[in-house]
Structure 1
Amino acid sequence: MGRTRVKKPDIDGLFSLSTAYLTLNDNGFNPTGVAGICFKRVDSKTFADAMRDISSLLDLSGPDVTYSRIKDEYGYEWFVLKSDNFENLIVNIHMISEVLIDKGFEERLLSSVFAFNRFYLVYNYKSGKFYPFAPLSEDTRDNKLEFKIKSMIKKEMRIEEDITKWYPIRKMPF
């Protein structure tokens, strides 16, 4: 018997954020210029090579995109990107995703997170869907705002309908 292949994430769904962010912007929700991609590291040469490839590609993005690689307190790693150009954030998060998938690390991808002035848009790689996350404090969230965001952008992008899968991502490194 062979191993079951894991379905590769539909990372092209990330590009739907290009139009949704305009709707959000028109309604007073502005991107902060920060985004991150969260993944679980692997101790292997192939993974180390992937990290070097990603860093090299990000370096080619020029001065418009700055980045750092951070390990969080839960043992996950993040590439945190900053840019005044929101499209650059989307394209570079997509590129990082693509490199990790091409190298066989799709199971290690957790989420990508795009920061807005009052909430985050989270992309879940397992479902290929977005959901809003609006923390009020370490333990509470603004559900009313999350539902408002969902209703604003649900026609422009794949939104997770099952709210039990709107996982809070606490203590993000940005």
Structure 2
Amino acid sequence: MKFFDILLGRTRIKKPNIDGLFSLSTAYLTLKDNSFDPKGIAGICFKPMESKTFVDAKNDILSLLDLSTSDLKYSIIKDDYGYEWFVLKNDDFEDLIVNIHMISEVLIDKGFEERLLSSVFAFNRFYLIYNYKSGKFYPFAPLNNERDNKLEFKIKSMLKEEIPIEEDITRWYPIKNMPL
């Protein structure tokens, strides 16, 4: 922080550490070995804004996704809370990770890191959510209108040595009505 930032009470937002996303490329094998298969769908949630620079960033992302040589399918969906999602579908889980990382990187490089909320990877009984503010994952296992806390803690203990896991369970925010 610079002197005038301190004097004027301004704070700088720390850039998210998105490299934690790559740790998922080995952790998902542990999940598969325990019968938690990926569903082949992931999403990145962000707060849209009306600016030419932001629209240009989204267009850059769409152009890069179009260049993908894999069987990637994607869409942009607006949720009930006003957030937008890049929803990616691909049976190659590692390709999903790479593309989520790429989208994150473009938004951060263009100065929109504060617009990033989370990335979500769907598995057959739960979601792994990556919180950009903390740079950590946490499981979310919806069960009817409740949460399957037992399953969430099982996933946490299974992955705690492989990926950065949020230890503070009060930060395990449920994301309801995800377009995944």
TM-score under structure 1 normalisation?
A: 0.98
Q: Percent identity?
A: 79
**Residue 135 in structure 1 maps to residue 124 in structure 2:** no
Residue equivalent to 1:81? 88
Give the match's secondary structure for 2:142.
coil
Letter in 1 for 2:24: L
Deviations 1:133-153 (A, max 9, x none): 00012x301000000000101
2:169 is matched with which residue: 147, 163, 167?
163
Letter in 2 for 1:164: T
Deviations 1:65-108 (A, max 9, x none): 11000000100000000001000000000000000000000000
Unpaired stretches in structure 2, ≥5 consecutive residues: none
Give the match's secondary structure for 1:38.
strand
Query: Following TM superposition, where does structure 1 have runs of at least 4 consecutive aligned residues deviating by more than 6 angstroms?
Result: none
The number of residues matched between the two structures is: 173
Equivalent-residue separation in structure 1 for 2:173 and 2:26 (angstroms): 24
Give the match's secondary structure for 1:62.
coil
Superposed CA RMSD: 0.8
Name the larger-Rg structure.
2
Deviations 1:102-159 (A, max 9, x none): 000000000000000000000000000000000012x301000000000101000110
Equivalent-residue separation in structure 2 for 1:51 and 1:108 (angstroms): 12
Equivalent-residue separation in structure 2 for 1:162 and 1:63 (angstroms): 37
